[in-house]
Amino acid sequence: MNVLGDRVLELGPKPGAEGPYKNFRLTRDGDGVAWLLFDREGTSANTLSADLIEELSKILSELETARPTGLVIRSGKKSGFIAGADVNAFRGATDAAAVEAEIGRAHAVIDRLEALRLPSVAVIHGFCLGGGLEVALACQMRIAIEDARFGFPEVMLGLHPGLGGTVRFTQLVNPMQAMPLMLTGKTIDARRAKSLGLVDAVTQERHVLNAVKDAVSGRLKRAKPGLLNNLLSLGFARGFLASRMRREAGKAAREEHYPAPYALIDLWERHGGDRRAMLNAEKASFARLMVTPTAQNLIRVFFLREQMKKLAGSGNRIEHVHVIGAGAMGGDIAAWCAGQDLRVTLADMKPEPIAGAIKRAADLYGKILRKRTAVRDALDRLMPDMQAEGVRNADLIIEAVPEKLELKQNVYADLEPKMKPGAILATNTSSIPLQDLRTTLQKPERLLGLHFFNPVSRLQLVEVVSHDGTDAQLLKEALAFVGAIDRLPLPVKSSPGFLVNRALTPYMLEAMLMLDEKIDKTVIDAAAKKFGMPMGPIELADQVGLDICLDVGDMLRSKFGDQLPPTPAWLREKVAKGELGRKAGKGFYTWKGGKADTSSGLPATSEPSAEMTDRLILPMSNVCVACLREGIVDDADVVDGAVIFGTGYAPFRGGPLNYARTRGIENVVSTLRALTEKFGGRFAPDAGWENFK
């Protein structure tokens, strides 16, 4: 990427020569404008760290002395401008005062950038996030390339902006629009950023030099805060808006679980009318958040995601996917794969499920793809295939028919002779061991599991299941495929329920036993939400489908017996009546527009007890320890990541095993023993706790 043009002259080291800067190249063009190219050494993306901020400080000293006619900051990375702070620097922070001192040093450098007595321009392509956006905000002008994306994702790490962004963003952009972006972590594109006044111009790469000339010369029309910004900065307005923001934040998360949004609202409400006071308060607030268990666990989850991405490896060769079964799971798997640039054929016995799947796909693409042409192209790649002819050319066949062993084996008998050499046969079974499924196959070595989770578009995990005869090369290719479709693979050995469903089943069945104890379903769900789960087990059962819950429960009880709660007889009756949950419009809850009607139930005065929460949550940790002991998964960190990304398990807890460590292994084991004495052997602590650390 030649971002400097052909007329580059020297301000610092000569191009190609050893210079004083490792992460930057500083040059001056023929008009005397300094170009600062940000190209962090040894990484694919620019991130901010203490050593890099120190180097930027030296560059600012040089600029203050040299006094060029203007300054342009650009990135030398294809991925974008700056992806934010180097999250490694946040891990393990325990001293808020030390964090505040460190962030204070970075603040001083960003303040110097803002105070330069020359026109300064940030030219932004790709991602401009978090600390990167704060650097851009310290420049006088911002020019966005059309592909630029802007956002403050700090809330995802249990933080809020910490390099002056809370101040500069709310002063530049209407706080009613700026605050929600910081509170949710959502990103916006270049056109939206221009409409908000975040950037001054949007252009194409080939026009950058002309846009910079206009900016430096003063010809660029700059975005300026409107009168409304000043009015909304008044104390009474901030108080009113802050109350509304807290109510909205409360709908998404409890303050004791996720304090960052509430800290940001407090910060703006108290200091939004005083720039200097808010800058100082931002540093202290950021430092306090950094050392909270929530932030440290969310930072841990960030690295768990990166660790699981690496499990995918590289070299995906899958181009054509054939999906058999266009129901809720099969149809959505097909839609996701087509949305990730793969050719997909979708087969079913009847046309109606295929039509429904394509309609859901169109709805999904309308939400996640920004261009109409992209939606059209994705739908073109998703091809109905009533005759199942796609089997012959597919690199990967994914079977997603109902959880019946004989039915699946009949499907395999029909398709296996048609598969081309080297093709992978994958099952989306949620519970049936591959050792049972493979018995009728001519080539059992090419069978493996690709277990997606519902909803496919939101849950990132895919369990990649192997049996003792799975071809190692095909398993490697399956892992690469999962990474290529932007999902997180979990290599897992075949066993009933694998990892995630084996952990989830006692959670949901225990909730159904509580219903037998005449505990209201909304109170049961509230017990889980109070712990931090995104939804309660009763609502989750409806979401998954009560027929699937019943099938998985029966399968696991046939293998694990009294280690699981019994399946209530009335659950079979509900399934027989067609009350299957969300997909049928009725289960435990009535569903309208894809949402459960939870308005009925006991009064709010009926609070869930700590014992109820332990009955739901601790068996999940117990199962995870058992899976480690049995070698189904061999890494405790990956187990935590899998349960978070596959079920939505409270991220701020860091996963079921991390929660057990935090609570104390002895406490967890003793609580399980107490529950065993009161409720039975299903709570018996697994032997793996003895060696778990």
Task: Please say if the pLDDT value at position 193 is more than 80.
Answer: yes
Which helix or strand (DSSP H or E) is residue 145 part of?
strand 141-145
pLDDT for position 349: 92
Do residues 157 and 182 touch, judged by C-beta distance below 8 A? no
Confidence of residue 234 (pLDDT cuts 50, 70, 90): confident
Task: Please say if the pLDDT value at position 191 is more than 50.
Answer: yes
Residue 3 included in any domain:
no
**Which letter, b or e, does each residue of 302-341 get, where b requires 16 or more Cβ atoms within 10 Å of its Cβ?**
bebeeebbebbeeebebebbbbbbbbbbbbbbbbbbbbbe
Residue 2 included in any domain:
no
pLDDT digits (tens, 9 = 90+) for 314-369: 889 999 999 999 998 999 999 999 999 999 999 999 999 999 999 999 999 999 88
Cβ within 8 Å of residue 245, ≥6 positions away? 179, 180, 183, 265
- Say yes or no: 425 and 370 in one domain: yes
Confidence of residue 8 (pLDDT cuts 50, 70, 90): very low
Q: What angle do CA 669, 640, 661 make, to 5 degrees?
A: 35
pLDDT for position 23: 92
Task: Please say if the pLDDT value at position 580 is more than 60.
Answer: yes
Which helix or strand (DSSP H or E) is residue 81 part of?
strand 80-82
DSSP state for residue 580 in the 8-state scheme: -
Task: Please say if the pLDDT value at position 135 is more than 70.
Answer: yes
Task: Please say if the pLDDT value at position 586 is more than 60.
Answer: yes
pLDDT digits (tens, 9 = 90+) for 67-98: 899 999 999 999 999 999 999 988 999 999 99
pLDDT digits (tens, 9 = 90+) for 666-693: 999 999 999 999 999 999 999 999 999 8
- Say yes or no: 513 and 582 in one domain: yes
Residue 298 included in any domain:
no
Do residues 345 and 394 touch, judged by C-beta distance below 8 A? yes
Half-sphere exposure of 354 (CA within 13 A, CB side): 18
Lowest mean pLDDT among 261-270, 295-304, 598-607: 598-607
- Indicate which residue of 55, 154, 416, 510 is catalytic: 154
Do residues 490 and 461 touch, judged by C-beta distance below 8 A? yes
CA dist list (Å): 70 to 62, 517, 634: 13, 73, 56
- Say yes or no: 111 and 228 in one domain: yes
- Say yes or no: 336 and 358 in one domain: yes
Q: Token pair for residue 342?
A: 């793969």
Q: What is the four-CA torsion angle of 275, 281, 285, 286, rounded to 10 degrees?
A: 60
pLDDT for position 16: 42
Mean pLDDT of all residues in 108-136: 96
pLDDT for position 457: 93
Mean pLDDT of all residues in 419-438: 93
Half-sphere exposure of 617 (CA within 13 A, CB side): 30
Task: Please say if the pLDDT value at position 59 is more than 60.
Answer: yes
DSSP state for residue 16 in the 8-state scheme: T
Cβ within 8 Å of residue 437, ≥6 positions away? 405, 408, 409, 412, 427, 429, 447
- The better pLDDT of the pair 1, 191 is held by 191
Mean pLDDT of all residues in 228-242: 82
Catalytic residue check, 319:
no
- Say yes or no: 209 and 334 in one domain: no
Residue 401 included in any domain:
yes
Sign of the Cα torsion 69, 73, 76, 78 reads negative
Q: Token pair for residue 337?
A: 């794969």
Give the whole-angstrom CA distance, residue 363 versus residue 368.
9
Task: Please say if the pLDDT value at position 2 is more than 80.
Answer: no
* DSSP bridge partners of 48: 85
Q: Token pair for residue 622?
A: 């117990």
- Say yes or no: 463 and 555 in one domain: no
- Say yes or no: 162 and 285 in one domain: yes
**How many domains does one find in the chain?**
3
Task: Please say if the pLDDT value at position 9 is more than 80.
Answer: no
Task: Please say if the pLDDT value at position 258 is more than 90.
Answer: yes
- Indicate which residue of 134, 399, 403, 463 is catalytic: 134
pLDDT for position 583: 87
pLDDT digits (tens, 9 = 90+) for 493-521: 999 889 999 999 999 999 999 999 999 99
Do residues 493 and 629 touch, judged by C-beta distance below 8 A? no
**Which among 461, 491, 521 is the end of a domain?**
491
Residue numbers of the domain that contains 520 = 501-691
Residue 302 included in any domain:
no
Catalytic residue check, 306:
no
Please give the share of the chain, as a percent, with pLDDT higher than 90. Answer: 81
Cβ within 8 Å of residue 54, ≥6 positions away? 109
- Say yes or no: 374 and 510 in one domain: no
Give the whole-angstrom CA distance, residue 212 versus residue 355.
51
Give the whole-angstrom CA distance, residue 277 versus residue 266.
13
pLDDT for position 601: 53
| H-helix segments, 500-594 | 500-516, 521-531, 537-544, 546-560, 569-576
Residue 649 included in any domain:
yes
* DSSP bridge partners of 424: 396
Query: How many helical (H) and strand (E) elements, i.e. helices and strands, does the chain have?
Result: 27, 21
**Position 137, amino acid:** L
Residue 416 maps to which CATH number?
Answer: 3.40.50.720
- Say yes or no: 553 and 667 in one domain: yes
- The better pLDDT of the pair 339, 226 is held by 339
Q: Token pair for residue 8?
A: 């580059």
**Which among 491, 519, 548 is the end of a domain?**
491
- Say yes or no: 125 and 63 in one domain: yes
Residue 520 maps to which CATH number?
Answer: 1.10.1040.50
Confidence of residue 3 (pLDDT cuts 50, 70, 90): very low
Which helix or strand (DSSP H or E) is residue 142 part of?
strand 141-145
pLDDT for position 13: 39
Task: Please say if the pLDDT value at position 603 is more than 60.
Answer: no
Do residues 571 and 550 touch, judged by C-beta distance below 8 A? yes
Task: Please say if the pLDDT value at position 6 is more than 50.
Answer: no
Query: Whole-number mean pLDDT of the chain?
Result: 92
- Say yes or no: 561 and 422 in one domain: no
**Which among 491, 512, 533 is the end of a domain?**
491
pLDDT digits (tens, 9 = 90+) for 523-537: 999 999 999 998 899
pLDDT for position 600: 56
pLDDT for position 35: 96
- Say yes or no: 367 and 461 in one domain: yes
Task: Please say if the pLDDT value at position 403 is more than 90.
Answer: no
pLDDT for position 152: 97
Residue 267 maps to which CATH number?
Answer: 3.90.226.10
Give the whole-angstrom CA distance, residue 565 versus residue 544.
18
Question: What values do phi and psi take at 323, rounded to 5?
Answer: -110, 130
pLDDT digits (tens, 9 = 90+) for 148-184: 999 999 999 999 999 999 999 999 999 999 999 999 9
pLDDT for position 1: 40
Residue 309 included in any domain:
no
Residue 306 included in any domain:
no
